[in-house]
Amino acid sequence: MDVLGRNNVQVSGTGERTLVFVHGFGCDQSMWRLVAPAFEDRYRVVLLDLVGAGQSDLAAYDFERYSTLEAHADDLLAVLRALDLPPVALVAHSVSAIIGMLAAIREPARFAGLVMLGPSPHYLNEPGYAGGFERSDIDELLDVMASNYLGWAGAFAPVVMGAPEQPALRDELNASFCRTDPAIARHFAGVIFLGDNRADLPRLRTPTLVVQSAHDAIAPRAVGTYVHQQLPGSQLVVVNTTGHCAHLSAPRETIAAITPFLDALPMPATLQPA
């Protein structure tokens, strides 16, 4: 299977600029349905599923290869090469914000800008750094995923989604978790929650907007501030919503937060061969 089929790449919209949307853990490209269409009248819009998620080729998920986020960054760059795109703006949620950062560090000429929605480079509390979780919290999470995956999904979905006034979103996220292969989900969760990409932040030179939910139990506001402070020249916008999925709980506010940044990016020039 070619890389576009492997990652279930879908292209829509018109325009000289291209927006690439990448989803977070336990989700797929459908999670952008309330945001991505708002840009289709003036942008080429590219959606994809991370390998192991959605309608991607699940057989391509090699547990050893995907033991770091670098493999997903490889996949993202392969998709951009296959589409032969000029420099793109990447809108990436949660773990994919870090995946996008790694890809942009490696091949900066492919990226005009990066929107990080709810990023976290490290989820564990450390001296001088409040990641939001103790190691015992993550160990317990991984243990429950292994012993009672459906029970974990039902308990974790409302924590991630927040927005208790919108229970349909909680149910949608729970269903998305339940559609994900449990072994892949647990493996990917370990890679995410035990990883540490803080040292990579200062290496990023792509213009970046950090979009932070006002109340987020997964990537707390202090983490968004930390990411902004560590990224040279980045911008920070706080969306007044609860939960880790502002693109679902507050799509209009998310669109309003990212549009000025995207529109201010320069028109793409032709990508020069490396």
Which residues are known catalytic residues?
A: 94, 216, 244
Strands 43-48 and 17-22: parallel
Query: What are 159's two structure tokens?
Result: 């924590």
3-state secondary structure at position 122: strand
Angstrom CA distances, 191 to 116, 173, 186, stand at 19, 20, 9
Q: How far apart are CA 231 and CA 77, in angstroms?
A: 21
Q: Which DSSP category does 47 fall into?
A: E
Strand ranges, E, within the chain:
10-13, 17-22, 43-48, 88-93, 111-117, 208-215, 235-242
Length of the chain measured in residues: 274
Q: How far apart are CA 181 and CA 28, in angstroms?
A: 13
3-state secondary structure at position 90: strand
Paired residues of 19 in beta bridges:
45, 89
